[in-house]
Structure formats: structure tokens, C-alpha cells
Amino acid sequence: MSFFSFGARSIRFKFISTAIVIEVIMLSVLIWNGLRLTNYYLLAETETHLNIMTPLINAGLAGPIVQEDLSTLTEILDRMTMGVSVKYIEIQNANLEVLVKKGHLKPQPWLKRDDFIQYMNEEYKQDRFAFREPIYIGSRIVGYANIQMDISVINVALQSLFNQGLVIGILEIFLTVMFLSLIGYALTRHLATLTDSVKEMAKGDYSQHIHVDSQDEIGAVAYAINHLVDEIELNNKKIIMQNEEIAGLTRLSPVGIFQSNEAGECTYANPRWMELSGLTLEKSLGEGWASAIYLDDRPWVYDSWREAVNKQAVFEVEFRLNNHGETVWVAVRAEPQMENGQLSGYIGSVTDITERKRIESTITALAESSSVNDYDEFLRNVVKSLAGAYQAKYAFVGQLLPDKQSVQTLAVWAGDGFVDNFVYELRGTPCEDIIYEGKQLITCNAWRLYPDDAMLKEMSVEGYYGAPLLGAEGSKLGLITVMDTKPMELLPWVEPVLGMFAARVASEIERQQNTEELEVHRFHLEDLVSLRTAEMEALNHELEAFSYSVSHDLRAPLRSISGFSQALLEDYAEKLGDEGKDYLERVRNGAIKMSTLIDDLLDLSRVSRREINMQEVDLTAIAHDVIAEMQVQNPERIVAVSIEDNMQTRGDEHLLIIVMTNLIGNAWKYTSKRVNASIKIGQHMEDGVSVFYIKDNGAGFDMQHAKKLFGAFQRLHHVSEFEGTGIGLATVKRVINRHGGRVWAQAMPEKGAVFYFTIASYDKDISGISDI
Amino acid sequence: MLDKFILLVEDNPDDEALTLRALKKNNISNEVHVARDGVEALDFLFCREAHADRNSASQPQLILLDLKLPRMDGLEVLKEIRANPLTKLLPVVILTTSNEDCDVIGSYELGANSFIRKPVDFDQFMDAVRQLGLYWLVLNESGDRR
């Protein structure tokens, strides 16, 4: 038994063993101290003896040694050895020759007398102490007395003392054990009683109280235990009562409750389960419960139950039961019960969710019906879903007619199909109350409550649920109604679901009304647009006729003025005189200038009227043509012209020719006073867009007038300086605008000008862009 | 040259005078018959109404046709000329104030042989008439002569 298990030993053992250990220690100390003291006194005695003996020896032996009187020495030796303490003695002369000796010599070194105590402490096991005592006469050593003393008597004395102490000690320990055992028994007797009683209680017998009559601590413990036992017994009774209550609840529970063992086999099911499943308890036990599951659901429900049991996981599913042909939707939830880390079984509940499933499917049907685009189909879906949801025979949607006195049905479900729509009077019907007083939830006797409603009576309507259809702004649109020939149950979901249908249908009816209204507006709008278009076309025709007329008729008189002026100048020159000729010349020039103006204005109006015909346009080629034409008109001009190659764009070629002709013509015109005139035509890229430019070193202009540049009839130079009508750049701008591009200029007076333009890079019909 | 007369279809007396002067100035001395509108021009060509007694075999060497005419406009007249086998090969030069695309294109489509814009600047017109006379009256032999 190891030391460490000491704490586990009985109190009696601990008590006695502790006492023995203490006693042994005390006795050992006592014996050891006795031996030590005895030894000390014996040695002190012997030393004193030696110290007294030595001068006597010296006095007795000195003379005979010197005289070498051997007989006297022998006599002295005899006397000395008569005491038992001297075992051997010899007398030597100064030359260490032995004169006489007596006793038996034990060979061991000769020490000095003073070494006695030290020798005894170190060599206490020796039985002799051997020492040499010099013999003096005066201060001269005349010889030696070598003596071996018997010291065994000291050891013998100590040994006997030790033996006696040991005997007394053992006796005492024995007595102690005996005594303590008696006391220990008296103490632990009650404890043992306590232990036995508690062991009995652990077996479940709480009726036995502990009988301990002692008033000591053990008595207090016993009292406390008795009290504890009473409490436990009380609690047990409570638990038993609670268990009975739980069992009662389980029996009465509106929810099915079941238990299974660790293998997943049913061990208990409450009566509600039997109601839901239609199975008896016996048939539900083990694996029998699965036979109540709807055939389609059975395999997957059973598999997932097995999987949950294997994984010791929570089992939570919704499925259908087949209760003798009636479908019952249930939600099952079972939780694993663990005991010491091991699955001990499952406890689960089975809730009837048939109603919820019906609402769900109703709402789903409503949601699905919403996805139907066709208005009539939507309404038919609604009444069919409604009848299905309420398990009612009839359902219809009615729209209040403008007279507010009658209703036009929009969709009617009757029994097993749709029937034709009809109109009926509101007066005296529940429908009237629905529309003007709000919802109606009549569970039975509907036809008796409204005796004036012949239709209700004819259909013998018992249950009648209806809700008004209200527009977004509260307007009364109509109603939806569900009717049955049986009384209808007023379940909690009945009203909200009806409300939901009503809201959905109302919004659809309103949407339909809006659509119809929009359609009317749309037709009106289309009429308006075609009317306006016709007007615009007429105006355009008028404008074209006007232009045509201007082009012909306005010019004819000018031609007369100019032509006959010319005729006068030629045929009657001599009669006119120089002044007359000058005046006629001015008349003629005026007519010509006006003609130019008319031409330019016609160009400008044509730019706006023309349809844009998009095509690939080679601006380089156009520039070359324009320059060549200019050169033909002014063969005397020397102009350094540079035209970049490959300037391609998309646009209306005819209009772009007008642009290039105008811009290059301007450059040509405004460089006319330059000796080293130069014109550069090119392009560069800016933000991914081609920018074309016509640059000259001509007269230029002040940029502060740049805004006026592209307006019609705006001129920055006097006609006397440079000819022009001020329409060319307006035309350019109009063409570029119609191409979705941009035109701008940079110039300085007398330093030349640069005109830039872009053409929209996108390839689409931009003929609509116009600034007429 | 005497039978090589010109038919000028022109409603504006000023233009008529100026044209006649221009022809004269350019030494084009052919006889010029003037019609004041489209209907009259066609009556003349097809020997109808007032011109019923005219010999239809005698046809102008050149027709100078204005487009903007009362009663029947120039393009319609041109269409009639080209539709009739009697006149369909006659050279027709359109003389007009307009330079509208529709007029130019329409004229050529209907079979005009040339198109002259009547410029306000009379010098230019003189020039154009001179070239016209050279080409159609002197150089180019009319189709019915071939």
C-alpha cells in the first residue's frame, strides 16, 4: 500500500498508524539520549581513573627502573594487574628494552594517555586502550610503562542499556495500538451506521431514516442526511405528478407526438398521431408508421428519416399522409435524445399543415394567374383559384356598371367550369352590401338572409364570402364573390386571402381601364401626328413651290434689266455719253448682284430642303476639282495649294461639294491680295474624330467678330474689298449641322484664317437634324 | 438655210426680245417662230387649231423651249414632242431661268438635247446662244435628215 493512498484509508487506520509513528520517534530519541549520556559518564570516569593512576605508577616505578630492580617491578606489576581493568603491562628502560611484563599483549599501536577520549569516540568498538606512559625522575625519562586498558566494559554497559530500552518501547507500542483501537471503534461505529443507511437509501428506499443517537458531529450529519432524504422524496413525488401531467398532455395534444428508440423504431405515438394517420398505436410502432405516408412521398421520407437517425441529426420535413383516402399535409420535426453521448432515441412532433398548404397553393395560383398577360384569362384563373381555395362551388368577378345599379360579371366559375357572363341588378343582393358596405362573410343561410335575391335562392347558396374591388383612389370598381351550396367554415385565412384576391383583381381591372384609355389617347395622338405631318408636308410643298417660283420669276425681271441695259450700252452707246454709260453699267451690275443673291439664297434653302443621301465622299478629290475650277476662273492667280491625300468621310456628296466650294472659294477670294498666296487643305484627328481644315494666309479677320461668321448676310469685309453675299458660310454651317458635325474658325487680321469642320462619324440617317 | 427655222417657245416678251437679239447678234439669221405657251407650241408642231393649214412636214431645225409656261409647261411640251413620231427626233434645247435639280434632271430624262440656263448677265447668255447656234444649226445635222 503506497504512501499516496494513505488518504483513502479508514479514519481508524490513519489514527492508529499516526500514533505508532509518533511513539517510535519519541522512544528512539529517548533511547539514543540515554545511551549518549551513559557513554559520556563512563568515559569521564575512566579518564579520571587513568589520571589518578599515572603519578602513582610514575612514583612507584621510577626507582626500580633506574636500579633495574626487576623483582620490585614484577611485584608492582602483579599488584597493578590485580584490578580487572588492566589487561597487559610492560616496563621498558630508557633504551626501550622490556624489563618486565605481565598479562596478554594484543598487538596494537601505543598511544598517549591524553588521547583516550578521542580514541574512545573513534575506535569505540575496540576492547582495549593501549598507551605509553613515560617515567620521569625529575625531568629525565628513565623508562616507559606500556599499558593496555580493558574498555569493553563500557560497550557492554551501553549494549544492555539499548536492549532494555527496545523491550520497553515494543511493549509500549503494543499497548498504544490496543488502546487506540478501542477508542477508534467507539468513534467510527456511528459512521458505519450512517454509511449503511445511506447505501440503503441509494437503492431508492427513502422511507428509512438514519437512527443515530449521538449528539456529536456525526449526529448532525445524520440529521442533515435525513432532511435531504425528505426533500428528495418530495421532489420525486412532484416529478411523478409532472410525468403524469405530461403523459396527459401528450394524450390530449393537438399535435402528434412520437418517440423512437436509438434504431429509429417507433416506441410511442400519441392519440393525435393516430387521428392524423388513421393508424392504430400497434400499427404505428416499429416501422409501421411509414405505411401512413402518401405513396409518392413514402420513399424519400423514409430515406431521410434513416439518414437523420444515422447522422443523429434533427429530422424536419413536410409531407402528405394518406388517411383512408384523405390527404393530410403534415410538418414533422424530431430531435435526437442523447444519453452520455449516445443516441437514446428521438422525440418528435407531427403538425397538421393542410390548411396552410391550401393557402400556399391558393397564393401560388394567384401569383401564377398574375403572370398571365391576357386580361380575360387572368380573371378566369382568379375565379377558378378562388373556388378551389375555398372549396366552393361558385366564384365570380363582377364589374360595377356606370349606372352604379348593376353589375357586369367578368368571369364566372360554376361547379366544374366557366359559364357565360351576365348582368344583374344590385338591389336586394348581398353584392349591394359588399359594394356599398364592405366585405360580407356569411357562413350559412345566405339565401334566407337575402330573400329578394332570386338567384341566390335558385342556387340555394348557403355560404357566401365577398369583397369589394376598390381602385387605387378608393373608387368602387366591383366585387369578387365565392359561394357554396354548403355552409362554409370561417377559417382565419379566409378574409385576408379574399382581400388579397380583391386587391389583385382591382389593380388588374384598373390597369385594364388605363390601358383602354391609353389606347384611345394613342389613337388620338396618332391622328394628331398624321394631321401635323400632312400640314408639314403641305407647308413644305408650298415652300418648294415658292422657291421654284423665286428661282424663275424673280430672276426674269432682273434679266430684262440687265439684258436691255446691255442692249442700250451696245446699240446706243454714242447717244448715252460716258456718264449715261456709267449709270447703265451700275443698273446692270445691280441686277447681276441681285441675281447672285437669289442664287445663294436658293442654295441655302435647298440645303435645308434636300434629303441627305449618305455615301462615301472623297474630300481630296472634291478639293482638287474646286481648286481647278478656281484656277480656270482666275488663270492669272498664282496660289501655292497643298491638298492632303486620302481625306475620306461619309456624307451627302452634293452638300459637301457646296461646303468645300464655299470654304475653298473664300480662301481663294481672301488671298487674292497676297503676292505669295497659299491654301492648305488637310485633316487631323482630335478625340478620335477627323477634323478637316482649309487654311489660308489671306486677309483673315478679328476673332471678336467670329460669332457673326456663320450667320446669313453677315460680312466681315466690305464689298469694295472682297465681293460676296454673306450667305456662303451660313450655307456651310447648315450643311455641317445637317451632318451632325461642327464648323468653326480661327483667324487673325492679315494673318490668314483656318476653317475647321467635322462630320459625325456615326453611320445613321441624320437627315432629321436641321436648323430650318 | 431658210427652211431651217427655229421654234422659240417663250411667254416672257422681254426674254423673247433678248433671245432674238442674241441670235441676231450672233449672226444666226434663221427664221424664228415664237410660240407664247406650251399649247400653242404643240399646235404649231402638230399643225392643229390655228396652225391646221401648216405643212406638217416642215419642222423646225431647233426648238428653244422655256420651262415655265402658261397653260402647259415646258416639260409637258417636251414629253408630247418626244411621244410623237413626227417630232420625237427634233433637237430640243431647254432654256430656263431655274437651275433646280428637278428641272435639269426632268429635262434630260424626258429627252432634252441640251440645257441652257438663262443668265442675268447678258454677256454669258450671248456666249451660250452663240455656241448653241454653232452646234445645233451648223455642225449637228438634225436626225430626220440622216
- Contact status, residue A419 vs residue A502, Cβ threshold 8 Å: no
Query: Least CB-CB distance to B120: which of A551, A562, A602?
Result: A562
Q: What is the bridge-based pairing of β-strands B92-96 and B114-117?
A: parallel
Nearest CA in chain B to A595: B120
Give the residue extent of every domain in chain A.
Answer: 4-169, 253-352, 392-609, 612-758
Q: Are A563 and B122 in contact (CB < 8 Å)?
A: yes
Nearest CA in chain B to A558: B120
Give the confidence band of A84 by pLDDT, cuts at 50, 70, 90: low
Q: A94: which 3 cell numbers?
A: 630508557
Domain with B90, as residue range(s), is 6-140
Classify residue B85: in a domain, yes or no.
yes
In tens, the pLDDT along A119-165 reads 877 776 777 888 888 888 878 888 888 888 887 777 788 888 888 88
B57: CATH = 3.40.50.2300
The pLDDT, as a whole number, for residue A770 is: 40
Q: Which residue has the cell 420669276?
A: A553
Name chain A contacts of B19, Cβ cutoff 8 Å: none
DSSP, collapsed to helix, strand or coil, labels residue A561 as helix
CATH class of A392-609: alpha beta
Q: B132 pLDDT exceeds 80?
A: no
Q: Are A551 and B98 in contact (CB < 8 Å)?
A: yes
Average pLDDT over chain A, rounded to an integer = 83
List Cβ neighbours of B73 (8 Å cut-off, separation of 6 or more): B38, B67
Same fold for the pair A253-352 and A392-609: yes
Minimum distance, in Å, between the CA of residue B121 and any CA atom of chain A: 6
Give the confidence band of A772 by pLDDT, cuts at 50, 70, 90: very low
The pLDDT, as a whole number, for residue A343 is: 87
Q: Are A551 and B97 in contact (CB < 8 Å)?
A: yes
Minimum distance, in Å, between the CA of residue A556 and any CA atom of chain B: 7
User: Average pLDDT in the A685-694 region?
Assistant: 88
The pLDDT, as a whole number, for residue A83 is: 59
In angstroms, the CA A434 to CA A442 distance is 11
Written as one letter, the residue type at A139 is S
Residue of B67, B102, B104, B122 for testing the chain A interface, max A β-carbons within 10 Å: B122
Classify residue B1: in a domain, yes or no.
no
In angstroms, the CA A621 to CA A645 distance is 9
Residue of A547, A548, A552, A596 for testing the chain B interface, max B β-carbons within 10 Å: A552
Give the confidence band of A370 by pLDDT, cuts at 50, 70, 90: low
Q: How many CA atoms lie within 13 A of A224 on its CB side?
A: 6
In angstroms, the CA A545 to CA A538 distance is 10
Q: Are A599 and B99 in contact (CB < 8 Å)?
A: yes
In tens, the pLDDT along B20-60 reads 888 888 877 788 899 988 888 888 988 888 888 888 788 88
Q: How far is CA A285 from CA A264, A400, A520, B110, in A?
A: 10, 60, 71, 108
Q: A762 pLDDT exceeds 60?
A: no
What residues are paired with A696 via a beta bridge?
A: A679, A753
The pLDDT, as a whole number, for residue A761 is: 57
Is 3.40.630.10 the CATH classification of the domain at A253-352?
A: no
In angstroms, the CA A63 to CA A53 distance is 17
User: Average pLDDT in the B96-118 region?
Assistant: 78
Give the confidence band of A110 by pLDDT, cuts at 50, 70, 90: confident
Q: Are A556 and B123 in contact (CB < 8 Å)?
A: no
Instruction: Output the DSSP codes for A689-742.
Output: EEEEEEEE-S----GGGGGGGGSTT--SS-TTTS---S-HHHHHHHHHHHTT-E
Give the confidence band of A694 by pLDDT, cuts at 50, 70, 90: very high
Is 3.40.980.10 the CATH classification of the domain at A612-758?
A: no
User: Average pLDDT in the A606-613 region?
Assistant: 76
User: Average pLDDT in the A216-230 region?
Assistant: 81
Name chain B contacts of A592, Cβ cutoff 8 Å: 120-121
Q: How many CA atoms lie within 13 A of A440 on its CB side?
A: 27
Nearest CA in chain A to B12: A556
The pLDDT, as a whole number, for residue A766 is: 43
The pLDDT, as a whole number, for residue A771 is: 39
Give the confidence band of B145 by pLDDT, cuts at 50, 70, 90: very low
Classify residue B89: in a domain, yes or no.
yes
Longest dimension (CA), chain B: 40
Give the confidence band of A455 by pLDDT, cuts at 50, 70, 90: confident
In tens, the pLDDT along A73-82 reads 888 877 776 5
Total domains present in chain B: 1
Q: A621 pLDDT exceeds 90?
A: yes
Name chain B contacts of A558, Cβ cutoff 8 Å: 120
Classify residue B146: in a domain, yes or no.
no
Q: A314 pLDDT exceeds 80?
A: yes
Q: Give chain A's contact residues with B (Cβ, < 8 Å).
A: 547-548, 551-553, 555-560, 562-567, 588, 591-592, 594-595, 599, 602
The pLDDT, as a whole number, for residue A764 is: 43
- Contact status, residue A747 vs residue A701, Cβ threshold 8 Å: yes
- Span A4-169 CATH architecture: 2-Layer Sandwich (3.30)
Residue of B16, B121, B125 for testing the chain A interface, max A β-carbons within 10 Å: B121
Contacts A–B by Cβ distance under 8 A? 63
Q: Are B15 and A591 in contact (CB < 8 Å)?
A: no
Give the confidence band of A385 by pLDDT, cuts at 50, 70, 90: confident
List Cβ neighbours of A464 (8 Å cut-off, separation of 6 or more): A430, A440, A442, A446, A456, A481, A482, A483, A488
Minimum distance, in Å, between the CA of residue A638 and any CA atom of chain B: 26
User: Average pLDDT in the A588-610 region?
Assistant: 80
More confident residue, A720 or A327: A327
